[in-house]
Structure 1
């Protein structure tokens, strides 16, 4: 009877052991390779051959490659591979080094406006939009002392002049570009970009703080496999910067090149572009759902106080507005 009542004995060797999650070497390998490839594209995209327009597409979309990083991180964690996790984290660091400095809100370290400032507003008004006058009205409402417009036809120029000439008594235009200013414009001339195109202006603004060089630009269009003319225009623009005698300089307009475009880098290396007031990339095109920033305000010799984008008229480009401390 005592034998029957005796509790069954189970040796510790029979106890069920917790189930170990196994690493997934195949998934880890794929994740590691993709992370390394992403880092290579981010860091060395300038060296990618521009076959079938690949270089232009990659350059333009480069900031968006960051969307791949969360996916890689999740998959790396699932693979339970330290190598895959390390590669994914490294891709985060590369993207951050390239883009985080440009998307930090300007308000975090911008100086307070004091003394004399120069506010510049610019927009590609889109020739077929028929709303150049509305754009001019919206830009004037920002209080800008200088308004630069691109892609104007004759009718648009007349409409803009009717809106701006009274408040902006100084102006100069040639081809499809024009500039209106509350400050006197001196030495205005067509910007010779070596192509014989009337899509650029060079002038001096006579401000209370001294002369400020201003360049208004509408670069040639850039499409996959068809951007050689734009590339040449950007290269010629970059050559103007070191030869300009004024300490303060503003270059503004539609460059048809994003900030990460390899052919924009020569300008970006010489001039500063303000961050956005609220942070982010400040994309300007297409206006309804911006995915890239072909429009820029570049400067040297001044401190940025404010920089933002606004909607003006029915153009397919958002307008850009920046205030600089003279």
Structure 2
């Protein structure tokens, strides 16, 4: 049957009226789907194991995606804007323990101690330069990780004059302006040593210092790292020291569930320079994998700096009892 011209005109007008509504519905669904995906990615950052490690690595950057989704909803899909606030809230809660802090003033009569730490990258030839740079920034205690024999000797020669007290084991070492006592290599659940504990005799109080070079994380292989982090948490829990700091390359981003055990025993040191304290890679930092934890101490300031030619930035933290 042949359609009447009037009916064709009516159908065309109906399609034109429906199209904007259908476009808005399609946009709303797309925004809602994007919000759901980002919500799931955020939730995954709290799952122990490989999923949580991967999720924690991208967690800070999910904020950019959520901001884009929120703006898109406000401009093009207001009907789902409340829905997009859910993943934003979950992200804020997940990121809260890793957000920057504020510097504080020291207490009169106490001596601030500055502890610097850096992974100097084995066979880079830059350990001496890193050591010199950290010393030049006023560090009282310098901890270096991923040292080989040559870089250990080079750093030691550079620091020998101003830092007469030192201890090294495996791939980690520490130099101090103040006397060191009770030196101890740590296995942390493994059959090889990549951590140490010493007691630095500061003018104010003895300071227990842990230096860690955690095992690397590769797809399907992170058990050694998790074992070391759990071992560090156990060691800190059993340590009777009133003042304690743990520094080094943890190979775990700030929100990694593998850090939950050590977080329960010591305070994660927040960067006080207004950043998230990303340390790797040095050329364009994307993640903070070099961590600082304290117990029984006040953090005056904590920041990151470039030192030597390492692929890691150094952490520099000023503390006081």
1:66 and 2:71 matched: no
Note the 1:250-265 alignment, pairs <5 A: 250-265=245-260
Quote the residue 2:272 is aligned against: 277
CA contact (8 A) 2:44 2:55 kept: no
TM-score normalised according to structure 1 size: 0.86
Secondary structure (helix, strand or coil) at the match of 2:189 reads coil
| Contact persistence 2:280–2:311 (CA under 8 A) | yes
How far has the Cα of 1:90 moved from its partner? 2.6
Higher gyration radius (CA): 1
| Aligned equivalent of 1:87 | 83
Any gaps of 5 or more consecutive residues in structure 2?
A: 1-18
Relative to structure 1, is the Cα distance of residues 143 and 299 closer, same or farther in structure 2, using a 3 angstrom cutoff? Answer: same
Tell me the TM-score normalized by structure 2.
0.87
Is 1:314–2:299 an aligned residue pair?
no
- State whether residues 143 and 173 of structure 2, in contact with CA within 8 Å, keep that contact through their aligned partners in structure 1: yes
User: What is the deviation of 1:248?
Assistant: 1.0
* Aligned residue in 1 for 2:10: none
SS of the aligned residue for 1:47 comes to coil
Aligned 8 A contact 1:308 1:320 in 2: yes
Q: CA deviation at 1:177?
A: 0.7
- Per-residue CA deviation, residues 237-289 of structure 1 (Å, 9 max, x unaligned), is 11112100011111010011111111122112322233223212110001000
Listed one character per residue, the Cα deviations across residues 98-125 of structure 1 (whole Å, up to 9, x for unaligned) are 3256434523xx2346421111000001
Match of 1:185 in 2: 180
| Secondary structure in structure 2 of the residue aligned to 1:129 | coil
Inter-partner Cα distance in structure 2 for 1:21 and 1:61: 36
Alpha-carbon contact 2:98-2:254 (below 8 Å) kept: no
Say if 1:55 and 1:277 are closer, same or farther in 2 by CA, change over 3 A: closer
Closer, same or farther in 2 for the Cα pair 1:63/1:247, shift >3 Å?
Answer: same
Task: Tell me the matched-pair count.
Answer: 302
1:99 aligns with: 95
The SS at the match of 1:87 is helix
Q: Which residue matches 2:293?
A: 298
Relative distance call for 1:177 and 1:300 in structure 2 (3 A) is same
1:193 shift after superposition: 1.0
Q: Is the 8 A contact 2:144 2:172 kept in 1?
A: yes
Which runs of no fewer than 5 residues in structure 1 stay unpaired?
1-19
Partner of 2:118: 123
Query: In the alignment, is the contact (CA less than 8 A) between 1:123 and 1:254 conserved in 2?
Result: yes
Where does 1:169-184 land on structure 2 (aligned, <5 Å)? Answer: 169-184=164-179
Please state if 1:111 is matched with 2:105.
yes
Question: 1:76 and 2:73 equivalent?
Answer: yes
Question: Does 1:205 pair with 2:200?
Answer: yes
